Copies of this chain bind each other. A is one copy, B any other.
Amino acid sequence: MQIQYVLEVCGTGFFAISGSLAANDKAQPDWFGASFIGFITSIGGGSLRDILLGCYPLVWVHDINFIFAVIFGVILSSIFFKILIRLRRTFFLFDTIGIAMFTIVGTEKAISFGVHPMIAAIMGMFSAVMGGVIRDVLTNEIPIIFKKEIYATACLAGAICYLLLDHFGLERNVNFLLSAAIIISIRIIAVKKNLSLPKFIKGD
């Protein structure tokens, strides 16, 4: 569990970087605004999952380390803004690792609340992507998860995979790594090959 905790705190920091960088494009926020958007991006998904599950206290409300991770991420992204923008490829990797981890952690947490596996998969996916959705809504963008190359779908696939392997008795840590790897692989292949899901409605 120790390692997962460290990963979760790091993931929160990465999402804060991603949030405060993205925030800058359209809203042109001041320092407070960028931190605020970074904060919401990184804790939004997990908070929504916990609120929907009725799982109190929320993880960042009783553990100040998550706040430190956000602050650290925002400061880093301000100081190294130009470098980080140039490192988009590396950065894409961090984001992908982040969503993979958040998906599995969220799915596990939901399962421990005794919900149906299909609900647990949705909760896992929510943990990973809803922070970004809230960020997009706040900055007045149409959430990218509605059209971007296979993104939330990869999370959903990884969550389902985790649940299936768990059902068949795979050891928890092996399963964690394997399912996260599946999410990361799907996402990387989708971006490299420019794959996306079919539009809901063809024509016009």
Contact = CB atoms under 8 A, between A and B. Distances in A.
A69 B146 CA distance: 21
Contacts of A64: 116, 118-119
A81 B201 contact: yes
Contacts of A24: 200-201
B31 A198 contact: yes
A88 interface: no
A58 B52 CA distance: 7
Given A138-B143, A143-B138, A201-B78, A153 B32 contact: yes
A116 B145 CA distance: 34
A86 to B, nearest CB: 14
Given A31-B197, A61-B53, A115-B62, A142 B67 contact: no
A62 B29 CA distance: 37
B137 A138 contact: yes
B146 A30 contact: yes
Contacts of A37: 146
Interface in A75-99: 78, 81
A196 B26 CA distance: 18
Interface in A108-122: 115-116, 118-119, 122
Interface of A: 20, 23-24, 26-34, 36-37, 47, 51-54, 56-58, 60-62, 64, 67, 78, 81, 115-116, 118-119, 122, 133, 137-143, 145-147, 150, 152-153, 156, 196-201
| Complex A-B, nearest 8 residue pairs according to Cβ-Cβ distance, in ascending order | A33-B146, A54-B56, A34-B200, A30-B197, A29-B146, A64-B116, A31-B197, A32-B153
